[in-house]
Structure 1
Amino acid sequence: MKEYTLLLFLALCSAKSLTGPSYFTLKNMMLQDMEDDDDDDDDNSLFPTTEPILPLIPFDLFPTCPFGCQCYVRVVHCSDLGLTSIPRNIPPDTRMIDLQNNKIKEVKENDLQGLTSLYALALNNNKIYKIHPKAFQPTKRLRRLYLSHNQLTEIPTNLPRTLAELRIHANKVKKIPKDVFKGMKSLHVLDLPSSLLELHLDDNKITGIELEDFNRYKDLQRLGLGNNKIKEVENGSFANIPSIREIHLEKNKLKKVPPGLPELKYLQVVFLHSNHIAKLGVNDFCPMGRRKKKALYSGISLFNNPVKYWEVQPSTFRCILARNSVQLGNFLK
């Protein structure tokens, strides 16, 4: 018993200071996140308060912590170590892994093997250019994923459907695959690269578009928001994407044509079918007066809306490429 007490005392005396800003910034963020998840079971707590006193000591008496890292209760802190790969020997009950500010180039298939309780993974500010399609398969509870400031050219495929927050700005991503976010029920933060040319958020549960939603994506040319629950588009929202060519808003709950379409000089295709639009204004699509669009509409779909097509003024579609560019039709019950 004396030998154990002496070992414990020596370890406490030699423990590293815990004042590193990156650790406490991330830890405080995770604590705040966990407060929002009060409905989870007790075992889902990132920093449980019911653990025995001994495991709360900020070091590991046993060799279960990756070399050079600091391991706490369910937290593995490995930032700023110059690591070139995700370390092995991460405890299987880990809830958070901090790997920011390293030189990791790749997330391999088995790097996260066995980490079924992982809640948050910070890989920002590395050199990651490749993530294996099955890399996140072992993670059954992952909610926070930070991949900002890397060298990714595409959004990782097969993201966990439990994901609630994804940060991936400051990469080289130009296009997002159509189904990459499909099935996610609570993805509420989407910090994407500002260089995006295409953004596909179809088949989700988005309920509205606000003014600031697209203010970072000036170069966006194609926007997919079909099959959501969008009821309203705030006026001015599309002014932040002046280069947009194609907008998909079909299969939503819109009651009117979204404002701002006439100001989009390059917009050619807009899908609005299967909504609740009952009336079309003469200036809903085309600029007023002598102003002209630089690109005429080649496709406007409005079928399966309660529009009385015989009441629509012909000048409503004065800026289309040809008569067959508009699909109006009848509203089908």
Structure 2
Amino acid sequence: MAWLALLGVLVCTLPSALGTPDSEGLLPPAAHGCPHKCVCAADLLSCAGLGLQDVPVALPAAAADLDLSHNALQRLRPGWLTPLARLRALRLSHNELVALGRGVFANGSSLRLLDLSSNSLRALGRHDLDGLGALESLLLFNNFLAHLDEHAFHGLSALSHLYLGYNQLTAFSFHHLHGLPAAHLRTLDLSSNQLGRAPAPELAALPAFLKNGLYLHNNPLPCGCHLYRLLQRWRQRGLSAVCDFAQEYTCQAFKVPAARVRFFEYSGVFAHCLAAPGPGLERPEEQLHAQVGRSLRLYCNTSAPAARTAWVSPQHELLMAPGSRDGSIAVLADGSLAIGRVQKHHAGIFVCLAMGPHLRHNQTWEYNVSVHFPQPEPEAFNTGFTTLLGCAVGLALVLLYLFAPPCRCRRAYRSHHWPRAPGSLQELSAQSSMLSSTPPEAPSRKASVHKHVVFLEPGRRGLNGRVQLAVAEDFDLSTPVGLQLKAASESASSTGTEGLMVT
């Protein structure tokens, strides 16, 4: 019995000596590195909606997508991204961040997406975004930004999409874009701010692919003719940033805060702009026509010399080196664009961007390329075939003339109900071309041999151009009536019998 008691003691004390399954040292390292209440799935780390006031200290190094949105974060520590060398997307929206500070993204060289929307940011300093050289999309909308440093975005050399809508910006420099790289920028959202100035010449000088993604709606823009004509032209060209929000483009008239009118609706404010249109601020694109399968060469005809030349295809593909996605387009050493075999998807606007130092654009040149299929060549004229065809048609007409049944004119003659004389006059032919003065012999009738026929002019007797016959003066009136025809009766005969009157 003693050994049984000893065995029970060992069984009770063994779990405490070895530790429980939840104790430290038995869990795999990956699960151990996931912060409390957060969700870790492969390279995704989600700590959203947990009410966090500070960023968790221990973050797994495998995280490539970190979601810290919908919390109560008020500040970010400098260097907190150091363990996250693989981080590609960082979501910090819907927090309480008031300022960023220098060095908070010092180790974010691999970031592609940074979402800082729906916070309480009021200003953006010159060094707040340092370390984000690979950043492509920056979301800053729905904050309280009222000031942007002149070089706030200077280090973002790969930035292509910037969202600054729903803030309190009163000015924005379109001349140098606050250091934004114009060679890559595709989207610049400045909608729903307090912009009271948008110089039309500076907007017209922007690259064409950026104009397509420049959102300026819902701002108190000035109602000037230059800006009005520029936005009208953008709308006519089908730029999506203007067409998609046409009803929300307003301007301030008469310098009265409450007097806002819509740009693209009829208003007396722009009547003088339409009555006396001024010169266009934009140079019209050059029109080119190309055939499918042919080669095409485009030259960047800019007046200012450029240290570097880039092209943008109709699919918004940036071409800064030889080659493209489909391999049919190449940028040559002289800056020209060569298309080996033109296809239908090459139709659209090609934009040449001539850049100076530091990737700042100098000039742009646009080509509107229309692609069509080659017209089929007309067939050679075959004279032998046409000659044979003409002979066959001629032979058919001759045979038709010889063997076709003649026209039965008597049937048409009878349909006119020609008034007939009694007796043997029924045998009078309507086809006769000569009128005999001696009627057929009849027992009851005698005709004089001294009868003559006289033709009267139709114009004098009012018979609508028809010839009327009369009897000469030496006609024997004593002779009984032998033949009497009405002058107005119609005849199927072509000559001789119409309008005959014999007494």
State the match for 1:305 in structure 2.
193
Shift of 1:298: 1.5
Partner Cα separation in structure 2 for residue 312 and residue 263 of structure 1? 27
Contact 2:123 2:145 in 1 (8 A): yes
State the match for 1:161 in structure 2.
51
Partner Cα separation in structure 2 for residue 222 and residue 84 of structure 1? 42
Point out where structure 2 has 5 or more consecutive residues left out of the alignment. 1-11, 221-257, 259-503
**CA distances 1:19-55 after superposition (whole Å, capped 9, x unpaired):** xxxxxxxxxxxxxxxxxxxxxxxxxxxxxxxxxxxxx
Query: Matched residue of 2:130: which SS?
Result: helix
State the match for 2:16 in structure 1.
67
State the AA in 1 paired with 2:131. Answer: N
Aligned length: 204
Shift of 1:265: 2.0
State the match for 2:165 in structure 1.
273
Query: Matched residue of 2:61: which SS?
Result: coil
Shift of 1:104: 1.8
Higher helix proportion = 2
Partner Cα separation in structure 2 for residue 265 and residue 151 of structure 1? 32
User: Which residue of the other structure, out of 63, 82, 86, is the alignment partner of 2:22?
Assistant: 86
Partner Cα separation in structure 2 for residue 214 and residue 196 of structure 1? 12
Shift of 1:214: 0.1
Cα pair distance change 1:245/1:163, threshold 3 Å: same
Partner Cα separation in structure 2 for residue 84 and residue 159 of structure 1? 31
State the AA in 1 paired with 2:44. Answer: E
Query: Matched residue of 1:247: which SS?
Result: strand
Shift of 1:246: 0.6
Contact 1:269 1:298 in 2 (8 A): yes
Partner Cα separation in structure 1 for residue 205 and residue 97 of structure 2? 29
**CA distances 1:107-156 after superposition (whole Å, capped 9, x unpaired):** xxxxxxxxxxxxxxxxxxx3327969xx73xxxxxxxx9x9xx9962214
Point out where structure 1 has 5 or more consecutive residues left out of the alignment. 1-62, 69-80, 88-98, 106-125, 137-144
Shift of 1:328: 0.8
**CA distances 1:226-274 after superposition (whole Å, capped 9, x unpaired):** 0100012221222311011010011111113353324422111100011
State the AA in 1 paired with 2:27. Answer: I
The two structures, once aligned, show a CA RMSD in angstroms of 3.8
Cα pair distance change 1:255/1:273, threshold 3 Å: same
State the AA in 2 paired with 1:314. Answer: E
1:11-90 matched pairs, under 5 angstroms: 67=16, 85-87=21-23
Q: Which has the higher contact order (CA 8 A, sep 6+)?
A: 1
Cα pair distance change 1:314/1:188, threshold 3 Å: closer
Contact 2:106 2:132 in 1 (8 A): yes
TM-score normalised by length of structure 2: 0.35
User: Which residue of the other structure, out of 66, 78, 86, is the alignment partner of 1:195?
Assistant: 86
Give yes or no for the alignment of 1:181 onto 2:91.
no
Cα pair distance change 1:305/1:163, threshold 3 Å: closer
State the AA in 2 paired with 1:203. Answer: H
Partner Cα separation in structure 1 for residue 20 and residue 153 of structure 2? 48
Give yes or no for the alignment of 1:325 onto 2:181.
no
Give yes or no for the alignment of 1:264 onto 2:156.
yes
Moved more, 257-266 or 233-242: 257-266
Shift of 1:323: 2.0
State the match for 2:452 in structure 1.
none
Contact 2:66 2:89 in 1 (8 A): yes
Partner Cα separation in structure 2 for residue 267 and residue 307 of structure 1? 23
Moved more, 262-271 or 150-159: 150-159
Partner Cα separation in structure 1 for residue 195 and residue 128 of structure 2? 24
Partner Cα separation in structure 2 for residue 221 and residue 84 of structure 1? 43
Cα pair distance change 1:323/1:127, threshold 3 Å: closer
Moved more, 259-268 or 219-228: 259-268
- Percent identity of paired positions between Structure 1 and Structure 2: 12
Cα pair distance change 1:129/1:240, threshold 3 Å: same
Contact 1:227 1:249 in 2 (8 A): yes
Shift of 1:161: 2.1
State the match for 2:484 in structure 1.
none
Contact 1:130 1:152 in 2 (8 A): no
Contact 1:285 1:317 in 2 (8 A): no
State the AA in 1 paired with 2:99. Answer: G
State the match for 1:222 in structure 2.
113
Query: Matched residue of 1:321: which SS?
Result: helix
TM-score normalised by length of structure 1: 0.51
Partner Cα separation in structure 2 for residue 320 and residue 129 of structure 1? 51
**CA distances 1:162-190 after superposition (whole Å, capped 9, x unpaired):** 5644023451000123xx43133567659
